[in-house]
Amino acid sequence: MAEQRRKFPREYKVEAVRRVVDGGETAVEVARSLGLEPNLLYGWVRQFKVEAKDAFRGNGKLTSQDEELRRLRRQLADVTEERDILKKRQKHIGTWRVRSMCLALNVSMSGYYVWWHRPTSVRAERDRTGFARHW
């Protein structure tokens, strides 16, 4: 049966790397004193030198730049959707989220649903079908 992989907290890794970088000890000496393989410690040092404050953030956690990029992409998508709503008001049914349309058009969601469920007026039906009486 395979040996379970050891996990080390961020603080432990940072302290081990600081001993190598700042303390004047060699990576082999630090690794031996901590019971680690030297290659593992070399990898930590390399990662720390590249990422500095964002090093050892853990699985699935984004760097601050990646978080900012994700936030800006979401914001761009929202603004683009709002622009499209304002450009193409007539063709909105089923294309955009109701919440986005209401925000773009400055209408409450409840007001939208009242309008949506209201029966069609005689004039609107006449305009839609093109049967207007001309006297």
Q: Quick one: pLDDT at residue 82?
A: 80
Q: Quick one: pLDDT at residue 69?
A: 92
What are the residue ranges spanned by the domains of the chain?
10-54, 64-128
User: How confident is the model over 7-18, as pLDDT tens digits?
Assistant: 888 888 888 888
User: How confident is the model over 24-82, as pLDDT tens digits?
Assistant: 788 888 889 888 888 988 888 888 887 776 677 666 677 778 889 999 999 999 888 88
Q: Output the DSSP codes for the chain.
A: -PPPPP---HHHHHHHHHHHHTS---HHHHHHHHT--HHHHHHHHHHHHHHGGGTT--TTPPPHHHHHHHHHHHHHHHHHHHHHHHH-GGG-TTTS-HHHHHHHHT--HHHHHHHHHSPPPHHHHHHHHT-----
For the whole prediction, is pTM greater than 0.75? no
